Structure formats: C-alpha cells, structure tokens
Structure 1
Amino acid sequence: MEPRTSAQDVMRCDLCEIAVVQMHCDICLVNLCKACVGEHMISDESKKHEIVPFKLRKSTPQYPGCKSHNKERCTMYCSQCDIPVCDTCIASHQHLGHKLIKILQVLDKKKENIILKRNELKETIYPIYQDIASDVQNRMSQLEKEYGDLSTAITKHGEDWHREIDKLVKKFKAEVDEMKNTQLQTLQKHLDEINKIMSDIKDVTEAIDISLNSYDISVVFGVSIGIDEYRKIPPKIMVSSPTFNLKKLPAEQLSAVFGTLSSVTSTLKEHGYKMKTTQKSPNTGSSPPVKQLLDEPETVTTIDTGYGELYKVACLSDEEIWTSGDDNTMELYSINQGSLLKSIRTKSGYIPYDIAVTKSGDLVYTDYRDRTVNIVKNEKIEEVIRLQNWIPWGVCSTSSGDLLVIMDSDDNKQTKVVRYSGSREKQTIQFDDKGKPLYSSGRYNRYITENRNLDICVSDNGAKAVVVVNQAGKLRFWYTGHTPAPKNEPFSPRGITTDSQSHILTADKNNDCVHIIDQDGQFLRYIDCGLSEPRGLCTDTNDNLFVAQNRNRQVKKIKYLQ
C-alpha cells in the first residue's frame, strides 16, 4: 500500500476544502483539486508554479502553515520567539531584530535531537525495561519457590509438633496405666486379706453353731472363741485417680510459641535498576547508612527544665527541643545553650498529655481533659480534632504527614489507634485477626510512634508491653521486656521513639533504663547512663537520644550509635 495515498480519510483541496485532492503544487506545497488549479496559478504570479498530479508530487519538505497568516508557509524560524515564521511575518516587522534561521537548518537540528532520543529509547531505556520485566518475572518465580518452601517448612514444623504431641500423649497414657495398675494391685491385695478374714469368721461361726447344737456339755465348755482379733477393723485404703491439668494457651500465645511470620514489604527502591550506558551517574541511594550500637552509650549534655515533674520531650531540630510536664505550658529549649527560648500555654489551661512535632516543624499536643488534639502554628493554637466519647492520649506525626492518636473510651473498656489526615479519620486499629483487643483497656500511660518501615508502635503500660502492628494494622509482635533487667523490676514501658535503623526505643520507668529492640522485636541492649525515672523519648536526625527524666526534671542527650 502506498503510504502517501493511504490516509484513513480522503484528502481535501487546500483552497476549496471540499473537493478531493487531485493535483499538487511542488513550489507552494499546496494540494489542489482540478477546479482550483487556475485560481492558485493566478493567486501569486511572482512564483513559477509547478502543478503535478498528486501522486507525482516531489518529496520536498512541506513547510508548516503560518498560524498568523492563513495559507502562508513558514520558511524561516525565529529563535527568540521559538516559532516558525512566514515571509509576511518577517515583512510586518513583528520579529524585527530577532535572530531568524532557515527552517530547514532548525529541522536538521530537530531531527538530530529526535534521532538521539530515538536511539536512547531503543538502545538505553528500552533495554532497562526489558531487564525490569525479566527481573520481575524472575522475582515472581523466586517468590513462588520461597513461599512454597515457607509453606513446606510450616507444614513440617506442624508435623514435628504433632509427633512430639503424640509422644507426650503416649507418655501420659503409659503413666496413667502404670498408676492405675499400681492402685488396682494395692486394692486387690487388700481385698484378698479381707476375704481371708471373712472366710475365717465364717469357719468360726460354723464351729460355734455345731457346739451349741451338741448335747455334750464338755463340747460346749471346750469352745474357745478368739474374737478380739476380729474386732480390730483394718484401716480403709483411700485411693484417688490423678487429674490432668490442661494447659490452655490463648490463640495469640500459642501462635507466638509455634512461630511467627515476619511482615512483608513492597517498597520502591530508587535507582534499583541501572541503565546500560557508559556514562557515570551519581550514587543517590535512599537507604540510610548502617550504624552500629556503641559498646557504652554516653551522655552528651544535660538540660535542666523548670517543671515540678518532667513528662515529655520532642525534637524540633538538632538544636532545639520541646518539653512538657506537670503544668499547662510547653517549653522550647536550646540544646547547646540549655536556655529557655519560648513557652506556650495550652488553650484550655489543662496539662498537655503528649507532644509531637510535624514534618513542617509545628508542635502538636493532646489535651485529655478537653478531648482535643491541637496544633501550634506561629504561636497560635488551632484545634485539629475534637473527640466525642473518647479521650486522646499519645500522638505522633507520621512520615506521610498523618497524625496517629491512641485513645480510650469514656467507660475505660476500649482502646484504639486512629489515623487522621487533618481532622478526617482514615483508619482505625483496635482488634487482631481473632477479634481480640490489641491494647489494654483502662486509664494507663500509652505512647505511640511510627517506625521507619511504617510499623505503628505503641507503648502500653497497662499491658506491660510494646505492641507493634504493620501499616495495615495487622499485629506483628508484642515485646514484654527482657531479663535480667537492670533493677530486676517488672517492665514498665513509658515513652517510645525510633531511629534511622528502625530500632524501637522504650523508656522503662521501673528499671531506670531504655530498652532497644530491632524492628522485629528482638532485644538488643539497655541504655541506663545514670537515668532517673525516664518518661518521654525522642531522637534527632543524627540519632541522638533525648530522655525526659521525671523527678529530676532534666533532659539527657545520649549518643548510642556510632
């Protein structure tokens, strides 16, 4: 098929725009019907027109039509205005003083640029997408194998448990049979002794009856009855069958004993694929550098505050921290100078329960007496959330800019985590897959934070645990402390924070320390550094830890990572 004559629609004459194209002017690059040829010839007698059948038109470039002057063709290009121009445009002085270039020269550069981009698409970009497709297919195959292996491992583990349980059942049943036989033998022996005595008594009574029926007086006087030995009744043997004490584990504990599944993530890794090119590209990996825990954490500085009791701390920057305590003020301190920079009073006049800093640097606080979550912008307090029948406790600002709030119902029977975008509720997290509450109920200290892997971590003092769920609200694990603890006291979690390594750090008020666990709940180490009743925690961008100490009203800055 001839591509120049195989358009999807019939081509029309450029002059009358009605008749079908039959002729073509190679000079003016105009398509014509036969009826319009004469009109075109006299329209511009300065040109030597060359009219040819449309199929025999030359392959000379077809200059673009001028947008300002109808039916004019643009042979020049204005580099300043970045548009094609016709002779009339040039004559009208609209482009006076502008740099004009022959449009064919611009065309050549355009073609060069297009060819370069075409080559890049074909030789560089398309191959990387081929690699991506191949990599995704390989990863899918690998995932199929890995999940198959995982299912096999779980099945095998279950079979191992069944075998061990069968062994235990067999062992217990054998012990039951042995105890039964022993007790039956004891009772049988006792029964044989009783039957022997009964037989002896029967023989004695029969002898007595015979003597009593005799008329021989000497026989009666000769009867000797030893009844005293039968008056001594043998002791009663008391036996009882054993009981089997069932060890019933709640489903979540049984699951934890049997094994746990780590969470899965699907993340976008910048520059995860490489272009097939010899040009060097900058290394812009998004993962943070790996930092190791110090053998001995060290106190960098200590900041004294003016509270009677200090409760919370939140990092505004690497130089400034917000604090709150047992009054209705939130105070901003300079870390290096230790000086008070600013003080904000709560809108209601009540004590703020928790404080946090948003991505944009605004202070957020919860007012449990007023049932509100508030934000401080330019020292002005704006109410963001007002609750009905619920009381807000811990709050944190997420990487996406949402707010996570943990709250109790008025009757102290329910606790839940709610995600807000502004004042709009987006997500509620309250129950596990079995419909059981994830968090303890009642007026207990609870704090919340988001980990780098988007897990939601709650310090639940009522449950004496750190409860971690994934972004979708599915339970990942419970952390209930580690033994031996520095003071051998029960785990009493308070403030909670995370760092660039996805470590979870929790203040333990009873043991005057901070627990560090990894993102899967494995204990790593304690931080004590002479801490006294630690409550609030936060970390700065350099992974320095700030600890609000309750009684001595001090904030300690601690370096614990290399």
Structure 2
Amino acid sequence: MVSSISSIYKQKKDEVTARGEEWHKEIEKTVKKLHQELDDMQKEHEALLKKQETEYKGILKNLDQINRRATSLQKSNDVKEMQTFIPMIEKQKTLSEFTQYSFPTFCEAYTDDNKVWMGGNTKELKLFDLQGHLHRTVSITYVGSFIYMLNKQVGYIDENKRAVKIISNSNNDVTIFTTGDWNPRGITSTASGDLLVCLYKDNQSKVVRYSSTGGVLQEIQYDSLCQPIYSSPYYITENVNGDIIVTDWKKNSVIAVNRLGILRFSYSKEENIFFASAVVHDSFGHVIIADYRGDKIHLLDRDGQFLRYIIPREGIKSPRALCIMGHGEMIVGEGWTGNAKKIKYLK
C-alpha cells in the first residue's frame, strides 16, 4: 500500500502539471487578444492624433497670418480696415477648443420602419427615429461596437464571450452561437439570411459565413496563391451582387471578394490621411467607405472604381459608422463628436 502512494501522488502531480499547462495556454491566448486590441486602439489613436496635428498646424499658420496682418494694420492706423478685421479674429478657432477625445465608437443598423439602432462604447443599444426621438433602450453584456439586423431583430457581437447574440422582442439577450477560439468582430446579415462574421486569432484572420443557427457554411481566408487575404478585418457588408466587402485596418484598405471568396478588388489611398473605418453598400451596388482620418466618404462603383467624395456642406468629423436608408440618403456617425448626421448623397 505504501508503494502505491508514490504512484498516486505522481499521478496527481501530473494532473496538476497538465492543468497548469492548460492555464498557461489560456493566459497566453488572452494576452495575445489584449495585445491585438491594444494595437488596434493604438492605430485609431494615432490616426486621431495625426489629424489633430494637421489641424493644429493649420490653425498656427492662420494665427501667424493674422498676427502679421494685425501688426501691419496697427502700423497703418487704418481704423476702417481694423473694424472689418476684428470679426475675423473673433471667429478664428484656437487650440484651446480642442479637447481630449474619448473615442465614442459608433455602429448603426437601419430598420424597415424608418428607425436606426445605434451602439457605441456603452453596454446599451438605442433605437431612434429619424427625428432623433428615442424609442427603445436595450442593455447588453458588451459594448455595442458591432451590431446587425436579422429578421427585424437587432443583434451584436459579445467579444468577451466570443458570441453572436440577438435581442428578443422582450429585450432578452440570446446567444445564437459562439465562434470557438476565434475572436469575432464585424458582422452583417445577408440577402439569403446568413451571417458573415470577421474573425481573428493570433496572427490569422478570416471571414466566415454562418447559417442563422450558427452552422459554418463557408470560410474565406486565403487567395489563389495560398496567401492570407486579410490582416485585420473589422467591418463587413455584402453587396447586391454577392461581393463580400470588408475594411482591413492593418492594411488600411477595403477588400472585396466574390461570393466564392475569390479576390475582386482592393481599394486604398496612398496619402497618409486616408483611414477606412467602415463600409456599406446601397441598392445600386455602390461601395461606400467612411474615411475616418480624411473627414469624408468615398463613393465607389461595384467594381471598386472611385466615383467621387461625399462631403456635406456642413462637413463631417471623423466618420466612424455608416447606415444606408434608401432614397439616396445615409446616416453618418461621427467618432469625433458622437453625433449622427443624415446626408443626401444621391439625387
């Protein structure tokens, strides 16, 4: 009996060692996920700071010009000219008007009764009509950065639980399916009632088509040369021709594949000011991109050819989310201000 004790305790030690290895693996996965999230946050933060730097330089240049003109007017003693110049000084934006930004992430989903679900950096989803009146508020288990509509119900991604969830009519939070050891991000429903989800783990990324009950129908990860298509897919939409289009934050580009997963086009800009934060489509097949850093919307045709910029008369600040309403109108969520603006982009 004494001799058997040794083997029993050895077995227990082996079990503890095995359990410890499992814990280490899980901790390593969690750390890698947090590193990835911090990398993404850093990229968004850097984009914001670069934009602020550009605006600061513009303001300093204007202030320098105003200072030179004021000095010149002071020497000339031209009272009439000085009176017309004073309002220009009063309107000039100063550096003190730029406040610390808290990244109010936006995500939007349009309903078929002219209302819009909005999510952000809080654990709530809110339903507004187009006049800005609040109709419904739903509490969720994770921030509403990635939301979608399926069968007239709003759903969202719970990144902590790696779960695709939906909100019932009674405001219950229901898990449809989980994504295993892959971390979910952007999500959209399709014309056929499936769900397309952007997934990542470690240094891998892919797009997976799920049935509405969570069955895997398709995986898109590599091109014809067995090279990864995506580096960091974030937001996703399915165009009217079946193309699957995502914004890739690491590549800083918009990538489209056809319904079979074959690469159709990739759209990006050389200038540093471009940052593709979100993408949607309309009933004409236009591909519409939110340029977070460039303060504008890019309008492409269905083949990825640039058509024009969409910049409303009153301007937009850091467009972070897009929602197409039909009749040539869209709602743009501003990451800089936290405001949502309705824009007419087609006649």
Alignment TM-score, normalising by the size of structure 2: 0.67
Partner Cα distance (1:543, 1:500) in 2: 9
**Aligned residue in 1 for 2:230:** 439
Kindly indicate whether residue 257 of structure 2 is the aligned counterpart of residue 466 of structure 1.
Answer: no
Q: Contact between 1:310 and 1:554, CA under 8 Å: does it hold in 2?
A: no
Hey, what does 2:111 align to over in structure 1?
A: 316
* Superposed CA offset, 1:441-461 (max 9, x none): 4xxx61000000010000111
Q: What SS does the corresponding residue of 1:539 show, helix, strand or coil?
A: strand
Query: Which among 301, 305, 314 is matched to residue 518 of structure 1?
Result: 301
Residue in 1 that maps onto 2:344: 559
Separation in 2, partners of 1:370, 1:551: 29
Alpha-carbon shift at residue 311 of structure 1 (Å): 1.1
Structure 1 residues 366 and 382, CA gap change in structure 2 (3 angstroms): same
Q: 1:308 to 1:460 in 2, by over 3 A?
A: closer
Structure 1 residues 375 and 470 mapped into 2: Cα distance closer, same or farther (>3 Å)? same
For 1:522 and 1:319, the matched residues in 2 are separated by 30
CA pair 424-467 structure 1, distance change in 2 beyond 3 A: same
Cα deviation, residue 528, structure 1: 2.0
- 463-472 vs 538-547, which moves further: 538-547
Equivalent residue for 2:177? 385
Within the candidate set 196, 200, 203, 1:404 is matched to 196
**Larger relative contact order (C-alpha < 8 A, sep ≥ 6)?**
2
CA-to-partner distance for each residue in 1:169-196, whole Å, 9 max, x for gaps? xxxxxxxxxxxxxxxxxxxxxxxxxxxx
5 Å-filtered alignment, 1:182-331, equals 309-317=104-112, 319-331=114-126
Partner of 1:494: 277
Partner of 2:241: 453
The secondary structure found in structure 2 opposite 1:388 is coil
Residue pair 2:105, 2:145 contacting (<8 A) in 1 also: no
Q: CA deviation at 1:489?
A: 3.8
Unaligned runs of 5+ in 2: 1-101
Does the 8 Å CA contact 1:402/1:421 hold for their aligned counterparts?
yes
Q: Which has the larger radius of gyration?
A: 1
* 1:414 and 2:204 aligned: yes
Amino acid at match of 1:509: Y
Distance in 1, matches of 2:103 and 2:134, equals 16
Which secondary structure does the structure 1 equivalent of 2:200 belong to? strand
Deviations 1:264-293 (A, max 9, x none): xxxxxxxxxxxxxxxxxxxxxxxxxxxxxx
Whole-angstrom distance in 2 between the partners of 1:546 and 1:522: 23
Q: Residue 535 of structure 1: CA displacement? A: 0.6
Offset of residue 543 of structure 1: 3.4
What is the distance in 2 between the residues matched to 1:308 and 1:416? 26
Q: CA deviation at 1:386?
A: 0.8
Give the aligned residue type for 1:330.
Answer: L
* Structure-2 separation of matches of 1:493 and 1:308: 16
Separation in 2, partners of 1:377, 1:435: 41
CA contact (8 A) 2:121 2:145 kept: no
Whole-Å Cα distance in 2 between the matches of residues 318 and 511 of structure 1?
Answer: 32
| Partner AA of 2:299 in structure 1 | I
Supply the AA of the counterpart residue of 1:551. Answer: W
| Distance (whole Å) between structure 1 residues aligned to residue 152 and residue 184 of structure 2 | 21
Please point out which of 315, 334, 343 is paired with 1:549: 334
Q: How far apart are the structure 2 equivalents of 1:447 and 1:541?
A: 20
Name the aligned partner's letter for residue 461 of structure 1.
Answer: W
Query: Structure 1: how far apart are the matches of 2:218 and 2:260?
Result: 9
Identity %: 37
Q: Contact 1:391/1:408 (CA < 8 Å) preserved in 2?
A: yes
Cα-Cα RMSD:
1.6
Partner in structure 1 of residue 163 of structure 2: 372
Aligned length: 242
| Counterpart-to-counterpart distance in 1, 2:128 and 2:305 | 34
Tell me, yes or no, if structure 1 residue 356 matches structure 2 residue 148.
Answer: yes
- Structure 1 Cα separation of the partners of residues 243 and 295 of structure 2: 26
Amino acid at match of 2:126: E
What stretches of structure 1 move > 4 A for 4+ residues in a row? none
Q: Is the 8 A contact 1:371 1:386 kept in 2?
A: yes
Q: 2 CA distance for matches of 1:377 and 1:463?
A: 37
Q: 1:308 Cα shift?
A: 7.4
Q: Following the alignment from structure 2 to structure 1, what is the Cα–Cα distance between the partners of residues 225 and 334? A: 38
* Partner Cα distance (1:471, 1:459) in 2: 17
The worse-fitting range, judged by mean Cα deviation, of 462-471 and 375-384 is 375-384
The question of whether the paired residues in 2 share the 8 Å contact of 1:500 and 1:543 is answered with no
- Is the Cα–Cα contact under 8 Å of residues 468 and 477 in structure 1 kept in the other structure? yes
Shift of 1:352: 2.6
Shift of residue 377 of structure 1? 2.0
Matched residue SS, 2:284: coil
Alignment partners' CA distance in 1, 2:144 and 2:215: 22
Establish whether residue 344 from structure 1 lines up as the match of residue 138 from structure 2.
yes
TM-score by length of 1: 0.42
Matched with 1:537 is 322
